[in-house]
Amino acid sequence: MNEEILKTGAPKVNLLGLTQEEMIEFFAGLGEKPFRASQVMKWIHLGAVDNFQDMTNLSKALRAKLESTAEIYIPEVVYKKFSKDGTRKWVLKLDHSNSVEAVFIPSDGRGTLCVSSQVGCALDCSFCSTGKQGFQRNLSAAEIIAQVWVANQSFGPRDNRGDRPVTNIVMMGMGEPLLNFDNVIRAMHLMKDDLGYGVSKRRLTLSTSGVVPAMDQMGEEIDVSLAVSLHAPNDELRDQLVPINKKYPLKELLAACTRYLNRYDSNRRRVTMEYVMIDGINDAPEHAKQLAKLLRNVPSKINLIPFNPFPGSDYRRSPTERVEWFQNFLLKQGYTTTVRSTRGDDIDAACGQLVGKVQDRTRRNSRWREKLIDISSGDGADGSA
């Protein structure tokens, strides 16, 4: 039995996560022409339609055929919050025990959606609340796309040329996207596709903690922007903060970044190096100096992320002056360096802090919903311009 059948309880194909190629194949299986795939994809992804009866340019017979063989399954939205500043969040219930969150953040004429790839994460970075939950499971391509669908749908249906509210997507929510490789790459193809969400390669960013072999494979399969969770300028410190560094140390990681850039038009591309700033751990002037030296030969822009505290963590956020010092030093060294902004209490956290399993906790603690607003998710708006 395939994953979709298990999830929906019906032997139907969930069309939500199919790439254009797969959709054409599906319609060929029904004896239908390829243009049917385009029609249905437009309904689903542009029109935000989730039932076949609303697809008015399909014959009644075809709609009936689709009803019996396929479905458009969107997980239930168990929580949503639209803030006054334009930020929107959704918690999607994936199955009886697992939920994920997606966050939309508008800024400067763009709308960035932060998307999750796994429930929990196996990599256990010391400063990340997702890592502290352990790994629960991978998301299917449909579950990844569902987050984009739900965000898109909240803005109402769009026509073919209508403005798309989601202009940027960052794979910076829960999970390590390169450890759910196939589903993430398929979903990202759909995010790029004009019949899907039409997000350009520069505005579509995958963030990885540095799964080196998968970075090379990603280079072979898709051209999107790359962000790397660097967080430390030397192996000794990075081993502590990002344990996968023990397997793929900095030298190998940076070589993989260079290979990724060289595969495409490296003149115009840089890797975004994410650097969480933790008080007294990685924020000394010496660290800034090491960082500037380390990245000298890798076209990079640096994104400093003030650490977002969460219950159970002993780390503290670096003071603002230290973050500013770090930024100014790196700017003087010639690096484009931004500081990820925090915008109001309710979104004052990074996507890496997304919390799953909301269902269980809601039952145990009626205040959990309030809590979720305080500690969850954040600003991935810097992914790429």
Give me the residues that bind ligand SF4 (CB under 6 A), please.
121, 123-125, 128, 130-131, 175-176, 209, 229, 352
227 phi and psi angles, rounded to 5 deg: -120, 145
| Residue 276 binding target from ligand SAH, ligand SF4, none, CB below 5 to 8 Å by type | ligand SAH
Nearer to ligand SAH, 152 or 207 (CB): 207
Query: What residues line the site for ligand SAH (CB under 6 A)?
Result: 127-128, 172, 176, 207-209, 229, 274, 276, 305, 307-308, 310, 350-353
Counted residue by residue, the chain has a size of: 385
The least CB distance from residue 102 to ligand SF4, in Å, is: 15
Pair type for strands 118-120 and 135-138: antiparallel
331 phi and psi angles, rounded to 5 deg: -60, -45
The least CB distance from residue 45 to ligand SF4, in Å, is: 27
The least CB distance from residue 378 to ligand SF4, in Å, is: 13
- The verdict on whether 274 is a catalytic residue reads no
| Residue 305 binding target from ligand SAH, ligand SF4, none, CB below 5 to 8 Å by type | ligand SAH
Residue nearest ligand SAH (C-beta atom): 352
Residue nearest ligand SF4 (C-beta atom): 131
Annotated active-site residue in 4, 32, 71, 101: 101
The least CB distance from residue 372 to ligand SF4, in Å, is: 18
Cβ 210 vs Cβ 244: under 8 Å: yes
Nearer to ligand SF4, 17 or 175 (CB): 175
C-alpha dist (Å) from residue 20 to 149, 188, 193, 311: 16, 12, 8, 43
Nearer to ligand SAH, 69 or 240 (CB): 240
| Residue 124 binding target from ligand SF4, ligand SAH, none, CB below 5 to 8 Å by type | ligand SF4
> How far apart are alpha carbons 229 and 272 in whole angstroms?
9
Tell me the helix, strand and coil percentages in the chain, rounded to 5.
40, 20, 40
Alpha helices in the chain (DSSP H): 3-8, 20-29, 34-41, 60-69, 129-132, 141-153, 181-192, 212-221, 235-241, 250-263, 285-294, 320-332, 358-364, 368-375
Q: Give the Cβ contact number of residue 250 at 10 Å.
A: 17
Tokens for 307, please give them.
Answer: 């650490």
Cβ 292 vs Cβ 251: under 8 Å: no
| Residue 308 binding target from ligand SF4, ligand SAH, none, CB below 5 to 8 Å by type | ligand SAH
- The verdict on whether 176 is a catalytic residue reads no
The least CB distance from residue 179 to ligand SF4, in Å, is: 8
Nearer to ligand SF4, 18 or 174 (CB): 174
Nearer to ligand SAH, 15 or 224 (CB): 224
Active-site residue numbers? 101, 351
